[in-house]
A and B are shown apart, each in its own frame.
Chain A
Amino acid sequence: MKKMMMLVLGLFMVMSVGFSANAKTITVGLDADPVSLDIHVQLSGGMLQLSHWCFDPLVRWTKEMTFEPRLATSWERINEYRMRFHLRKGVKFHSGNTFTAKDVKWTFDRMRNSVDYKGLIEPFVGVAIIDDYTVDIVTAKPYALLLNMATYFFAMDSAFYTGMDENGQPKDAIVKIGPSFALNNASGTGPFIVTSREHGVKVVFERFKDYWDTKSPGNVEKMILTPIKEDATRVAALLSGDVDFITPVPPQDFKRIESDPNVKLVTCNGGRIITLQMNQERRPEFKDVRVRQAMVYAINNAGIVSKIMKGTATVAAQQGPEGYAGYKPELTPRYDLAKAKALMKEAGLENGFECTMIAPNNRYVNDEKIAEAAVQMLAKINIKVNLKTMPKAQYWDEFDAKVADIQMIGWHSDTEDSGNFTEFLMMCADKATGYGQYNSGLYCNKKVDELALAAQSEVDLVKRADLLKEIEQILYDEAAFIPFHWQNHSYAGKKALGIAPVINSMNFPYFGDLVVE
């Protein structure tokens, strides 16, 4: 029996040696695979990652948060409403078609038809073709974030997506549910072509032979993406050598990965802020600025970062992280329990009160644990919080219905700019304008609204930054929300992978430029 066992195990060992991967083929384990090959069907992190692998934007963010020319080689401001982009020549789509200005315009017009993108591109009037390799992007108002937005202008192959598919549906149709041409077919200018795809199981990417960026050091010929949703399984898959790269890495496994000589862990600052909003209409106590301040003072967010997040987050005291226009270094985290108690006493609430809170349990890294920690911390100033956590599928409806006094929300700015946080989370909630769409605390300060609107059309970047900093200061002083931290992005991979140069705070790993030794 024992001999037999040894024999069988020995056999497996010999077999598993045969599986060492080809150096230029990588297997990537992510928590989810792209929902479609149609980049406009959904505006989400996962879809933008895909956009960077199979398509190219006009410009893209670098690791240092500067703009890098991609399909646009240079650009200049013509006037407050208009910016001219000079396009790269000799760029081929996967289909063999040549990239020209009409593809830029066509793709922009297509975004208009996407429910997800149309809100994002609202500031724009359109794209004007000057000649085959020059376009002007025109905005309705003076708009400072035009270049930030140009990172969303991926070029789709207009000729490829024109016409009717075999079901008699236009090839450019954006279909959320059900078959469409663009769901399974893509032609972009990007480094990879999807050669096979089984949704929820795997996607195979192969390098595009005629990729324009011949200077890219990337040498990955084939990339196999498999979604591994379970955290423990994803880490095990990397440690056992089944995959070469994983993201995200659960904080509880950082030590394990760092102690393994075959793999490495790379983290990168991210821009997603995790906050609590205090509903001032449900809870009159929250109208009192001293109560809100006391709550901020009571939350030991540095402790949460070190204990729960294992250091994989940056402690926050304002909305935008360092590097964003509105970042104000003077605003520091303010955990001080004695001060918190004093403020509660001043507000006449030293005996505290009871309130409710909701948080998701599968949306943000360790969201449930963070919420539980906050409950304990608030208990110290006699605020008894009844917490309810739920999966994200149920969470957002409850959030919108404002069912609890305190609600958790995380936010990543679409424009990588401070203004976006305020517009969605802190401006007075108004259905007509759409501002404050996720302001479930119903915090409303006319001054903040004024400043945020002024910042939108201020083209002078220095003046604009001052406006945004002023907003951060007001929100800080008024304790408009409880800040926790900015979530870091975490990646882990085999030693041979040059991960660090291709990652960035947007969480778009540029696999096209990945170097495998």
Chain B
Amino acid sequence: MFAFIIRRITQAVFVMLIISMVGFAIKNKIGDPVRDLVGERVTADERALIRDRLGLNDSFAVQYVRFLGNVAKGDLGQSFFYKKPALDVIVGKAPATLELVFGAALIIVLVSMPLGVYTALKPRSFMSRFVMGFSTLGVSMPVFLTAIMLIYIFGVNLHWLPSYGRGETVDLFGNGWWYTGFLTTDGLMHLILPCISLASIMLPLFIRLIRSEMMEVLETEYIKYAWAKGLSPMRIWLVHAFKNTLLPVVTVFGVQIGIMFAFTILTETVFQWQGMGYMFLEAVERSDISLLIAYLIVVGSVFVMVNTLVDILYGFINPTVRIAGRK
């Protein structure tokens, strides 16, 4: 077991090295960050001097080794745009993204469960057909279109909801780490449209998933037995059938939440939501390469860590995993 864990961790470190190297390899292709820092009048020589001072003219190997040395000391570099340590910038933007994903997940859970169950139970009713038709539309509509439509309907035409940003936020822990929009009316109003947009990609998928799983379960022997036993329909549907539907749904949900983080880039851009996705896109545009690399490292390490942990847990639960790895 110990050998297995060591092997997994070595692999994880190796993956991180590759991620950082890929990040470094693309950074020269993104553009010259110095261009964004100076006015148009500044001469090429002056720019070269600045590049020199920033160490951007050194060879790939020199820059990479210096970078690894700094990372070992916990320094992921300075963001050119924010003029702050890149890690601070990323950590500062994370709450906004987490809240957006949380809000969207909440909508998905609250809406997909009743609708999924209903469409499974009454597949031929008008309401079910409507929901299924609508979900097909939802699946095929790109998230930025949904977002812009929502802004135009509820923000511009009806004036009901704000159209951009996070609104009023409050300091959750009193130490400036986490500003939340969930505790103010204004903040909540600002959350509605972005959360709906983000949820709109996953919601139809879950309605369909719950529906098909539920329909399958309803056909099984033990449900027929429950009917024969004369249990009340509510008890059969919710306790016996729905509970068993949830197992695969929860597994998929876990995977999809991760994917949803990726989709935040589009949602955050349209709503100018000050989260990590928007920050990433802006950094690409400004060729803020040190921030980009730090972002890749942070996101990469989160994924690698989660996967390594899961693998190790699997090893504990299922011995065949670690035996297969032993050879």
Contact = CB atoms under 8 A, between A and B. Distances in A.
Whether both chains belong to one complex is answered with yes
Interface of A: 9, 12-13, 15-16, 19, 35-36, 42-44, 115-116, 119-120, 175-179, 183, 199-201, 226-230, 232-233, 236-237, 239-242, 362, 391-394, 396-397, 400, 414, 434, 437-438
B189 A237 contact: no
Nearest to B38: A116
Contacts of B279: 200
Contact of B78 (A178, A239, A438): A178
B230 to A, nearest CB: 31
Contacts of A199: 81-83
B35 interface: yes
A233 B164 contact: yes
Most buried by B among A9, A44, A177, A237: A177
Interface in B139-175: 148, 151-152, 155-156, 159-165
Given A178-B83, A236-B163, A115 B148 contact: no
Contacts of B42: 43, 115-116, 119
B42 to A, nearest CB: 5
Contact of B272 (A116, A229, A438): A229
Contacts of B311: none
Contacts of A115: 38, 42, 46, 49-50
B41 A397 contact: no
Contact of A233 (B38, B161, B163): B163
A236 B81 contact: no
Contacts of A119: 41-43, 46
A15 B161 CA distance: 9
Nearest to A183: B83
Q: Main SS of the interface on chain A?
A: loop
B162 A242 contact: yes
Interface string B76-99: 001011111000000000000000
A35 B81 contact: yes
Interface of B: 30-32, 35-44, 46, 49-50, 54, 78, 80-84, 148, 151-152, 155-156, 159-165, 185-186, 189, 269-272, 274, 279, 282, 284-287
A239 B43 contact: no
Contacts of B272: 226-230, 233
Contacts of B284: 393
Given A44-B39, A177-B54, A200 B274 contact: yes
Most buried by B among A15, A175, A362: A15
Given A177-B54, A233-B163, A393 B36 contact: yes
A394 B39 contact: no
A438 to B, nearest CB: 8
Contact of B37 (A42, A226, A233, A438): A42
A95 B78 CA distance: 30
A396 B39 contact: no
Given A115-B50, A178-B78, A393-B35, A12 B43 contact: no
Given A120-B41, A177-B80, A434-B43, A236 B152 contact: yes
Contacts of B81: 35, 199-200
B155 A242 contact: yes
A397 B82 contact: no
Nearest to B289: A393
Given A120-B41, A177-B78, A237-B164, 17 more contacts: A15-B189, A42-B37, A116-B38, A119-B42, A177-B80, A177-B83, A183-B83, A199-B81, A226-B272, A230-B269, A230-B270, A233-B163, A233-B270, A242-B165, A393-B30, A393-B285, A394-B31
The 8 closest A-B pairs by CB, nearest first: A393-B31, A43-B39, A240-B155, A393-B287, A239-B156, A394-B31, A236-B163, A240-B163
Contacts of A178: 78, 83
Contacts of A391: 31, 285
Contacts of B270: 230, 232-233
Contact of B151 (A43, A177, A179, A236): A236
Contacts of A116: 38-39, 41-42
B161 A16 contact: yes
Most buried by B among A239, A242, A362: A242
Given A16-B189, A177-B78, A229-B282, A240 B32 contact: no
A396 B164 contact: no
Contacts of B162: 16, 240, 242
12 contacts: A13-B160, A16-B161, A43-B41, A178-B78, A183-B83, A233-B151, A236-B164, A240-B159, A393-B35, A393-B284, A397-B35, A414-B41
